[in-house]
């Protein structure tokens, strides 16, 4: 129960890794605020946590806009009084090399994957500082550190997330704000399944590419996120932690 009665905000929590993160924090006693642009998915995740005995409520928000980010944090602070952990997990993957992308693909990738972190952190940091500290865990990607072909918008935004994480950590560590990022490789999520279908490959094909013999699971990423947010990682700040099963980028 490392997070008993702590307030944890998880974005992109209507499925995949975000749902697993929210469930993991709730299982360790947190009061979880589940957020996503998909209102139905938000309530489904929150209801699942409550049915398992955890504490959760959903707040649908479009964090692709500055107003949506500010509104989410303001609503959480008004209802809960504080934010102990902020998990910036929401992300999109608009696939294609540069000439295959539209202006909308590029702009939306930055709005959701990077700009949202800027606005959410800027809104949450004053309350965290006033409370004497807090933890921020961002979801970057292995591809932000080692680019995969044909995903320039995703790769570039995730590389920026990695840099944002390290910069934020350096600036606010003196205020006891710990900022770290997880950098997953291939994880079995709805986003990955959609990409596999488009490519004509199978999950088994991906499994064979991983030295450990399989791709990762959302709950494994969630366990790492919870560790980074916990007091057990008290000296980790500015870290970019890969979770890949030793797979190199294909």
Segment 184-205, tens digit of pLDDT: 999 999 888 888 888 888 999 9
Which candidate in 3, 25, 143, 154 is catalytic? 154
Can you tell me the mean pLDDT for 148-173?
A: 98
Per-residue pLDDT at 250 exceeds 70: no
pLDDT value, residue 190 = 85
- Rounded CA-CA distance 79/159 in Å is 34
Q: What is the pLDDT of residue 75?
A: 98
Listed in sequence order, the DSSP H helices in the chain are 16-27, 39-51, 66-80, 103-110, 116-130, 142-145, 152-172, 190-199, 203-209, 218-229
- Residues with Cβ < 8 Å from 242, sequence gap 6 or more? 142, 145, 183, 184, 185
- Per the CB < 8 A criterion, the answer to whether 13 and 45 are in contact is yes
CA-to-CA distance for 36 and 14, rounded, in angstroms?
A: 6
Mean pLDDT value of segment 55-67: 98
| 154 catalytic per annotation | yes
Helices and strands of the chain, counted as H and E runs: 10, 7
pLDDT digits (tens, 9 = 90+) for 108-137: 999 999 999 999 999 999 999 999 999 999
Residues facing residue 56 across a β-bridge: 32
Q: Are 204 and 147 in contact (CB under 8 A)?
A: no
pLDDT at 4 over 70: yes
């Amino acid at each position: 129960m490392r997070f008993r009665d702590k307030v944890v905000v998880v974005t992109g929590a209507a499925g995949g890794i975000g749902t697993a993160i929210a469930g993991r924090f709730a299982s360790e006693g947190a009061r979880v605020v589940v957020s996503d642009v998909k209102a139905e998915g938000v309530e489904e995740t929150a209801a699942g946590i409550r049915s398992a005995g955890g504490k959760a409520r959903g707040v649908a928000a479009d964090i692709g806009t500055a107003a949506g980010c500010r509104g989410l944090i303001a609503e959480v602070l008004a209802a809960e009084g504080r934010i102990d952990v902020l998990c910036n997990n929401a992300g999109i993957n608009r696939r294609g090399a540069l000439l295959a992308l539209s202006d909308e693909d590029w702009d939306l990738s930055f709005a959701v994957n990077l700009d949202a972190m800027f606005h959410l952190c800027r809104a949450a940091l004053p309350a965290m500082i006033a409370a004497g500290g807090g933890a921020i865990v961002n979801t970057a990607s292995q591809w932000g550190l080692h680019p995969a072909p044909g995903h320039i918008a995703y790769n570039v935004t995730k590389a920026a997330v990695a840099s944002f994480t390290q910069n934020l950590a350096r600036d606010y560590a003196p205020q006891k704000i710990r900022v770290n990022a997880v950098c997953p490789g291939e994880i079995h999520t709805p986003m990955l399944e959609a990409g596999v279908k488009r490519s004509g490959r199978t999950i088994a094909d991906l499994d064979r590419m991983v030295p450990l013999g399989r791709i990762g699971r959302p709950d494994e990423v969630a366990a790492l996120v919870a560790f980074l947010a916990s007091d057990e990682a008290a000296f980790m700040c500015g870290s970019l932690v890969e979770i890949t099963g030793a797979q190199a980028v294909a």
